[in-house]
Amino acid sequence: MLSAKLFDTRIKSEKVEKKEKWLGFFLGPVSVILMNSILSNYLNVYYTDVLDISGIWGGLFISVFPVAAKALDVLTFICMGIIVDRTRSRQGKARPWILFSAPLLTICMILLFVVPGGNDNLTALWIFVSYTVFYAVAYTMYSTAHTLMVPLSTHCEEERSKLSLITNTPNMAAGSLIAILFPCIVVPLIGVNRKLWVSVMLGVAAAALPMILLEYFFTRERVTEQSRMQEKTESKKVSLREQFRCCRMSRKWVILMLYLILLQTVNAMFSAGTFYYCNWVLGSYNDGYTQALFYALGQAPLGIGIVLCRPVCNKLGKERAMTGGFLLAFAGVMICLANPGNLVLVLAGQVVRTIGLIPSTFMISSMLGDALDEVEHVSGKRCDGFSSSVMNCITTLMGGIALCIFNYGISRLGYQAPTEAFIPVQNAAVQNFIIFCVIGVQAAAYPVIALLQFMSIKERYIPRREDNDVQ
């Protein structure tokens, strides 16, 4: 099917062109990023506050199912990495999976919110299955392929930096949209009304399909095309064990993965707790402005980052820029910790924190490309799909663990779900736990992440003599 010209890329140039940048790498990912942003910030809220499933099986379900579901996601990410690496098609090895994921993402997004009630066991089964299918199948397909599009589009480091900046900008755009529309308009309007939640998510899902297709039709895998000539002389498939051996030879690759483990843990805890932090610590429930200010001011510096990130990283180097950035982010977090219930102080700290996170926000795809090139240099092997799956496994597993910890904590400490008629006041233990998840974890992790980046500056990887065995 994919051999038909109908499915060919609309990009014919051997160099990255403008419509590729803005249609394929900028507009294309917006809908999926928007979906993931909504789900990361509000799906758990829908489960705890609208469906009120905190009491299913004595609170055990809401704590255990995220980890169980994410564990399955990890397995599918590994499988998907293998599949991508072994995909040989006219359309490349990653792009076809963007196409296949498009209808699945749309359908599964709807199923996540259309949850049958009346029976706890049926509700639990539906949530687990729909959540697993969305993330373990549909999102895994998309994310594995999407992660590779920058590294596979060009060998040029400068072009990769540009594409990385462009393709990560939708994160800011989607985040800003969610930051303004949801807390100011959508959430106060729909409240805990189940039917309204479903209607809104139907609209989001319907808008996703055509935008995902933009990413498919307006990107091109030039590196894959160049590698096919080498692959013609190589019939042997590289095992997972061999790929891991090749990857760990690269200092860039190892540091990148350690960096991702810490960063994704922090981000997952932050996403899980932010809605609750704004409602129960900083402001009143769905007041329409606290969340908007928290998200919007936290996202606003990223607009500056679009302009300044690349020149700063070019001058200082990506690693140096990130080291300084995470130290600045740590300073911002400490401002928040000085008085975590003071809205003005917390907002100021959020601005400082986000400025510090600008390099890491926009340069991750470029860092992956550099790491993959080093892997190929020291081992002679391209491990694109494997590396993408490892990255996504890290993101997935850390997200599940973080959500499990958060849900278990608030459930055990006495969290009370609101209703249309009653807005409770959360006890001090719940509030302190929420503060720890949103701010405290960042304070512990950012200095360590900065140290990792510093280590990558201080020492460069020098291939060992024994490493030549794999070449």
How many whole angstroms separate alpha carbon 53 and alpha carbon 124?
A: 8
Answer whether residue 231 shows pLDDT above 60: no
Question: Can you list the domains of the chain with their CATH numbers?
Answer: 17-216+238-461 (1.20.1250.20)
Top pLDDT among 207 and 361 is at 207
Handedness of CA 179, 181, 182, 188 (dihedral sign): positive
Q: How far is CA 419 from CA 13, 289, 329, 423, in A?
A: 57, 20, 37, 6
Contact 172, 303 (CB under 8 A): yes
With beta carbons less than 8 A apart as the criterion, state whether 264 and 394 touch: yes
Separation CA 16–CA 21 (nearest Å):
7
Q: Are 171 and 146 in contact (CB under 8 A)?
A: no
Report d(CA 242, CA 402) in Å as an integer.
31
CA–CA separation, 226 and 373 (whole Å): 14
138 membership: H or E segment, kind and range: none
Say which residues have a Cβ less than 8 Å from residue 447's Cβ, sequence separation at least 6. 326, 327, 330
> How many CA atoms are closer than 13 Å to the CA of 267, on its beta-carbon side?
19
**How confident is the prediction for the chain on average, in pLDDT?**
83
Q: Which one-letter amino acid corresponds to residue 318? A: K
Tell if the pTM clears 0.75, that is, is over it: no
Q: What is the pLDDT of residue 57?
A: 73
Residue 233's pLDDT band (cuts 50, 70, 90)? very low
Of 461 and 262, the structure prediction assigns the larger pLDDT to 262
Least Cα distance to 274 among 420, 439, 425 occurs for 439
Give the pLDDT confidence score for residue 234 in this predicted structure.
46
Separation of alpha carbons 245 and 242, rounded Å: 5
As a residue count, the chain comes to: 471
3-state SS class at 331: helix
For tokens 């190892």, what's the residue?
Answer: 254
Least confident of 114-123, 161-170, 296-305, 332-341: 296-305
Question: What is the percent of the chain where pLDDT is above 70?
Answer: 91
Distances in Å between the alpha carbon of 215 and those of 110, 138, 209, 211, 458?
Answer: 22, 16, 11, 7, 38
Q: Cite the DSSP H helix spans in 39-139.
A: 44-45, 60-86, 95-111, 120-132
Cα–chain-centroid distance for residue 423?
32
Q: To which residue do tokens 């990023």 refer?
A: 33
